[in-house]
Structure 1
Amino acid sequence: MLLTALLSPEDLDDALVTQSGRYARHDLLGWAASIAADIAGAPIVAVDAVPDATTVAAVAGGLLAGVPVVPVPPDAGVLERQHILRDSGATMLLSDDSAATDIPVVPITRTARSTVLPAPVPPTSPALVLYTSGTTGKPKGVVVSHAAIAADLDALASAWEWTPSDTLVHGLPLYHVHGLVLGALGPLRIGGRLTHTGRPSPAAYAAAPGTMYFGVPTVWSRVAADPAAARALEPARLLVSGSAPLPTPVFHALAELTGQAPVERYGMTETLITVSVRSAGERRPGSVGLPLTGIESRLIDESGAPLPADGTTIGQLQIRGATMFDGYLRDGAVVPAPLTDGWYSTGDVATIAADGWHRIVGRASTDLIKTGGYRVGAGEVEDVLLLHPAVREVAVIGLPDPDLGERITAFVVAESGPPAEADLISFVAERLAAHKRPRAVRVVEALPRNAMGKVQKARLRDV
């Protein structure tokens, strides 16, 4: 059973604390069981993944019922939301907004609680369908099983010495691996308490006592810039950073202000978390540590030949192990994961030192932008901008930004006169999640292309 701690006979008065209230473990279980009864037998359901207790209860209900759950970002634009709901084939939506969609809506907030639990779910059953950032087009649904999530959380519990005595604090979105799988399902499997702050601000983190804090580099950058908030985290035993590389100055600032260096880890939607620094032992800036228990990693060159783990040779990172996804959801069926002898090509390039420590260098392509802890696909933003009548051609890249990590920047060839930058930014923000909007738009006469007509994005960095 994936949610072993939720089923524990020992109650916990404040197992979940959110902006809407405090929830005992048994109350949360009864809530989830009531939802499970309402959706039993459904092939797949979507959840409005707002940053509150309702999302935790709804996802837990789906997992108890053995119904795959599709988290829908609450700030998704119209096109993005429609794509996720249609592509996934969700037959109902768990939401407190009765006008949220044209498919049947099942309310999440309720007074009803159930003491009847569904039969245990086979471990190989699909648990979640998490949509990627759409690096080369529209987002794809990644199917992750109960067994993969359980294996990942157990490996992280070992690496981080995560126990039922821990209190986890974070304010991350509840529709990604970091915030949902680790940040919400982790406590429901391992035990302990979860405080979700709603938003991951330095003040909110400082006001929430905990032993573990999760954040993305943008969050930690802002915490480091607020010495009083950073010092309030001194009692914690673990500060975890992920979803993008943590800048070295932020690493050192946190270590100085809180008395401990942050722990970095690496993963992706298709593999979950596979490499991490351990809670006990060395913490190196710029490194994400060692493979978790049950995970293998290797570097290959462009021909697929293995490369040496010497700390300097850069290669394409491949991963295999128990945390791999089942495949992509397409037309109502699961297309098996593209594995070669169990190895999955991550699309990232890295170095592996002789002692096994990993350093992620970047993407093998330029189409995945990591901004504010989010992974945004350039292709998805380009597709929307091309809908604007003033845009003839467009290329989107990420440019370095001291706060966000990367700043989404659009290079536009205008149809006639130059369009207003604010108009294009708001055009995207109305159709996609707000964090996917360009932060800057540059109008150019032409996009640089090679002999085959392909846009050479690397050259745009010098424009």
Structure 2
Amino acid sequence: MLLRSLNPLAVAQGDDIPDAIRIGDTTLSRGDVLGAATSVAERVARADRVAILATPTVTTVLAVVGCLIAGVTAVPVPPDSGPAELEHILRDSGAQAWLGEAPPDAAGLPVVPVRVHARSWHSYPEPPESSIAFVLYTSGTTGPPKGVLISRKAIAAGLDALADAWQWTRNDTLVQGLPLFHIHGLILGVLGPLRIGSRLVHTVKPTPAAYAAARGTMYFGVPTVWSRIAGDPESARALSGARLLVSGSAPLPVPVFEKVQELTGLALVERYGMSETMLTLSTRADGERRPGWVGVPVRGVETRLRDERGGDVPHDGESIGGLQVRGPMLFDGYLGRPDATAESFTDDGFFKTGDVAVIDQGGFHRIVGRESTDLIKSGGFRVGAGEVETSLLGHPSVREAAVVGLPDPDLGQRLVAFVVGDDVSEAALIDHVATELSVHKRPREIRVVESLPRNAMGKVQKKQLF
């Protein structure tokens, strides 16, 4: 039962915890969350779908949990949404009201307040496990954002699989400062502690100093967060008493992995997932952690690689193929987009992630990148942008790197690297890659830029580099 442990936080099954959730300067007990969220549920119980401006506040948490109690579908909205994106999400989702605060330019929908100090102990029946808990919107890199339908059953299966992989228990304290409109920060980072019964500290912003001061046993961060922590040795060393440091939402550069390990004594746990699948791959708390690799399937997940003709790709640690996944935590389709939903699944129920990967003989996975931007066909060779970027990041002059394939009349596509760094020498970087990797994987051109375009989760937006 999702709600019995997800929002009541097992209050009826054990003692209350006075510091169950801390967001910024606000702390709530388990009883506080249950009572206030039930009060929210009473105000929205007749709605079908409501929008939540997903600011990093307790108001957002109470709004989400209130929806779960009432069986109302929540639509988390990024606080920095532009007018066009905001209009699309509200229109496409069919949200009937704002729950909590609303953005200044979001006229037209009523606002239902969330009162942090209100309390109700009304009892609601558990909604069907197949009911939709969230409509989460994709980043919209290939068109208008699509609404991803995530059921209660998928959330429960995904969180329980992670509890198994990470040995996550009620004794943990999770620290994170990630956005609350995404799988990583909201479902894993808020609903995970609520379901499992562990404490949560949300730092509002994921700064090295805030992470160091939180004194948790588990930390979630995107690569940008870990890069900043690696650059702050004092804060990094303060994390050495933790049990797990987890990185996701974008590829973690190997040099950052190595620096964090050097400073903390802990090898980062890397994992892989997306809005449509939640987390399907992870290194395990009790298993190998290999820089640049995202581990093995979590409980209940099957994976496979397919070539362009739909054939099997060998699991030899080198051959690249399109990654397909199947498991109980997959989404229920795209809202109002049966065509896109059908195109995303195979006849036997595997989801085509759009990512390309390699799998070794032991089942370890390495994500090469997006099939649309990171699988580069140059001179008859298939090159994964990710391994070229990893090589570039190993050079002392490079802080950030993104590799794309640009049209070339001779090669089909030529490898072009956009780098952020100091005293960058084009010839030195090209030679560096050619020495570490096959010669055909070397960039043909290096472009030095001040910064790389990234989204809120730290992912490089390569379409903006073309």
Q: CA deviation at 1:282?
A: 1.4
**Conservation of the 8 A alpha-carbon contact between 1:267 and 1:275:** yes
Residue 159 (structure 1) aligns with: 165
- Mapped to 2, the partners of 1:334 and 1:439 lie a distance apart of 22
Residue 2 (structure 1) aligns with: 2
Q: CA deviation at 1:285?
A: 0.3
Q: SS where residue 329 of structure 1 aligns?
A: coil
1:359 pairs with 361, 366, 391, which one? 366
Cα separation, partners in 2 of 1:287 and 1:434, compared to 1, 3 Å:
closer
Residue 49 (structure 1) aligns with: 54
Does residue 241 (structure 1) correspond to residue 247 (structure 2)? The answer is: yes
Q: Which runs of 5+ in 2 are unaligned?
A: 376-384, 387-415, 423-452
Q: SS where residue 188 of structure 1 aligns?
A: helix
Does residue 104 (structure 1) correspond to residue 104 (structure 2)? The answer is: no
Residue 287 (structure 1) aligns with: 293
Q: Which amino acid aligns with 1:239?
A: L
Task: Tell me the alpha carbon deviations over residues 371-405 of structure 1, each in whole angstroms, 9 at most, x when there is no partner.
Answer: xxxxxxxxxxxxxxxxxxxxxxxxxx9945579xx
1:28 pairs with 33, 47, 50, which one? 33
Cα separation, partners in 2 of 1:281 and 1:139, compared to 1, 3 Å:
same
- Mapped to 1, the partners of 2:66 and 2:215 lie a distance apart of 28
**Conservation of the 8 A alpha-carbon contact between 2:37 and 2:66:** yes
Task: Tell me the alpha carbon deviations over residues 175-208 of structure 1, each in whole angstroms, 9 at most, x when there is no partner.
Answer: 1000001000001101110000000010110111
> Map of 1:230-269 to 2, 5 A cutoff?
230-269=236-275
Q: CA deviation at 1:118?
A: 1.4
Q: TM-score, normalised by structure 1?
A: 0.79
Q: SS where residue 271 of structure 2 aligns?
A: strand
Q: SS where residue 243 of structure 1 aligns?
A: coil
Q: CA deviation at 1:110?
A: 4.1
Q: SS where residue 319 of structure 1 aligns?
A: strand
- Mapped to 2, the partners of 1:231 and 1:57 lie a distance apart of 34
Task: Tell me the alpha carbon deviations over residues 205-255 of structure 1, each in whole angstroms, 9 at most, x when there is no partner.
Answer: 011110000000000000000000000001100000000111011101111
Q: CA deviation at 1:338?
A: 3.3
**Conservation of the 8 A alpha-carbon contact between 2:281 and 2:296:** yes
Q: Which amino acid aligns with 1:205?
A: Y
> Map of 1:380-399 to 2, 5 A cutoff?
399=418
- Mapped to 1, the partners of 2:286 and 2:194 lie a distance apart of 24
Q: SS where residue 2 of structure 2 aligns?
A: coil
Q: CA deviation at 1:20?
A: 4.0
Q: TM-score, normalised by structure 2?
A: 0.79
Task: Tell me the alpha carbon deviations over residues 41-69 of structure 1, each in whole angstroms, 9 at most, x when there is no partner.
Answer: 21111101001111111111111111111
**Conservation of the 8 A alpha-carbon contact between 1:168 and 1:194:** yes
> Map of 1:137-148 to 2, 5 A cutoff?
137-148=143-154
> Map of 1:335-374 to 2, 5 A cutoff?
338-340=344-346, 341-366=348-373
- Mapped to 1, the partners of 2:461 and 2:148 lie a distance apart of 28
**Conservation of the 8 A alpha-carbon contact between 1:217 and 1:244:** yes
Q: Which runs of 5+ in 1 are unaligned?
A: 371-396, 404-428, 441-456
Q: SS where residue 369 of structure 2 aligns?
A: strand
Does residue 218 (structure 1) correspond to residue 217 (structure 2)? The answer is: no
Q: CA deviation at 1:2?
A: 1.7
Q: CA deviation at 1:96?
A: 2.6
Q: Which amino acid aligns with 1:362?
A: G
Aligned CA-pair RMSD: 2.9
- Mapped to 1, the partners of 2:236 and 2:266 lie a distance apart of 11
Cα separation, partners in 2 of 1:37 and 1:240, compared to 1, 3 Å:
same
1:227 pairs with 207, 216, 233, which one? 233
Does residue 203 (structure 1) correspond to residue 209 (structure 2)? The answer is: yes
Cα separation, partners in 2 of 1:91 and 1:400, compared to 1, 3 Å:
farther
Residue 126 (structure 2) aligns with: 120
- Mapped to 2, the partners of 1:438 and 1:220 lie a distance apart of 16
Q: CA deviation at 1:170?
A: 0.4
- Mapped to 2, the partners of 1:256 and 1:58 lie a distance apart of 40
- Mapped to 1, the partners of 2:230 and 2:317 lie a distance apart of 29
- Mapped to 2, the partners of 1:271 and 1:193 lie a distance apart of 25
> Map of 1:61-100 to 2, 5 A cutoff?
61-97=66-102, 99=104, 100=106
1:40 pairs with 42, 45, 69, which one? 45
Cα separation, partners in 2 of 1:115 and 1:91, compared to 1, 3 Å:
same
Q: SS where residue 328 of structure 1 aligns?
A: coil
**Conservation of the 8 A alpha-carbon contact between 1:89 and 1:332:** no
- Mapped to 2, the partners of 1:130 and 1:324 lie a distance apart of 13
Q: Which amino acid aligns with 1:285?
A: P
- Mapped to 2, the partners of 1:128 and 1:159 lie a distance apart of 24
**Conservation of the 8 A alpha-carbon contact between 1:76 and 1:433:** no
Does residue 184 (structure 1) correspond to residue 190 (structure 2)? The answer is: yes
- Mapped to 2, the partners of 1:269 and 1:165 lie a distance apart of 28
Q: CA deviation at 1:274?
A: 0.1
Which fold has the larger relative contact order, with Cα–Cα distance below 8 Å and residues 6 or more apart in sequence? 1
**Conservation of the 8 A alpha-carbon contact between 1:42 and 1:91:** yes
Moved over 3 A (4+): 97-101, 331-338, 367-370, 397-403, 432-440
Q: SS where residue 155 of structure 2 aligns?
A: helix
